[in-house]
Structures are given as C-alpha cells and as structure tokens.
Amino acid sequence: MKISMYEASVPVFIHTLNNLATILEKGHAHAEAKKIDGAVLPGLRLFADMFPLSRQVQIASDSAKGGAARLAGVEAPPYEDNEKTIPELVARVRKTVAYLQTLKPEQFEGCEDKTVTWQTRSGSKSMQGLPYLNRHVIPNLFFHVTTTYNILRHNGVELGKKDFLGNP
C-alpha cells in the first residue's frame, strides 16, 4: 500500500497540534490551580539561550502550516506571533488545525518530487518534497512540540507520554 504525501503530512500535523493544544490547556489549568500568574508560563524556557514556550508553540504552528502549504503549492496564512497567554497560544494552534483542514489530498499530488524552497534565519533553502517532509518539517514540528511539553513538565505540570501521543 502506498501512502500519499497528504496522508503522511496533514493528518500527522493535525493530530500533533491537537495534542499540543491539550498539553497547553493542562498547563493553563495547572497555573490556575497553583495561582500562577497567567503571563508566566509563555515566557518559561528550559535554558537561557532557548526560545520561550510561546515561541516554541509559534514555531510548531508555523512548521505545520508552512510545511503543508509549501507541499500543496499554496500560500500559508500569516500569523502575527503576538500571543502572550496560554489561551491565546491554544487559539493559535486551533486556528492552524482549522487551516490544515482546508487542504485537500489532490493539492499534494506529485509534491514528493517537486522542489520546495523556504526562508530561514540564515537564508534560503531548497529540498525535494519527500525529504523536505521527512527530514525537515516533521522533525521540526516534533522538536518544538516536545520542547513545549518539556518546559511545562519541568515546571510541574503533570503530563505524561499519553498527553504527547494522544489517542491513536
């Protein structure tokens, strides 16, 4: 059985982002229960030179919507990166899921072989579609979701592997 590029990307992104939203909601509930100022969690980091939780979520969102859009050959909607609270970050993740749900399998036909080009902080990069998905987009998405999970877990939020993996 052959898997399509759509099936290898969009459903994986949606599942992962829905799990991220759940993780963030647990973080928000933890902060409320412990009477922690709601502005604190988005600024937390694992180490001083790492991005804060808010940026981890923004990059996860951008990785999914940008990666899917590039593979589908469409423009991703721009987001302002101005979220300051966990509920705002959850809303961004949910908005990204809603965008991904608008993409259709036929938009991804043949994209495994097309050249995908994107901008990074250090310049422009290009790869063929399948390696772009498998070696860049998926690992980047998982890295930033995992880092978000680790920041919250490190700060006392009761999370486990099931929260990261979600329901199959």
Q: What is the pLDDT of residues 109-142, one digit of tens each?
A: 999 999 999 988 899 999 999 999 999 999 999 9
Place of tokens 């963030």: 24
Please report which confidence band the pLDDT of residue 2 belongs to, taking 50, 70 and 90 as the band edges.
Answer: confident
- Per the confidence metrics, is the pTM higher than 0.85? yes
- Ranges of beta strands (E only) in 10-166 are 115-120, 123-128
- pLDDT, residue 46, reads 95
Task: Say if CB 8 and CB 141 are below 8 A apart.
Answer: no
Q: What is the pLDDT of residues 23-80, one digit of tens each?
A: 999 999 999 999 999 889 999 999 999 999 999 999 999 999 999 999 999 999 999 9
At 79, which amino acid appears?
Y
Identify the structural domains of the chain with CATH numbers, from first to last: 5-165 (1.20.120.450)
Partners of residue 126 on adjacent β-strands: 117
Arithmetic mean of pLDDT, 89-100: 98
pLDDT exceeds cutoff 80 at 1: no
Alpha-carbon distance 144 to 86, whole Å? Answer: 16
- Biggest alpha carbon–alpha carbon distance for the chain: 52
* Residues present in the chain in total: 168
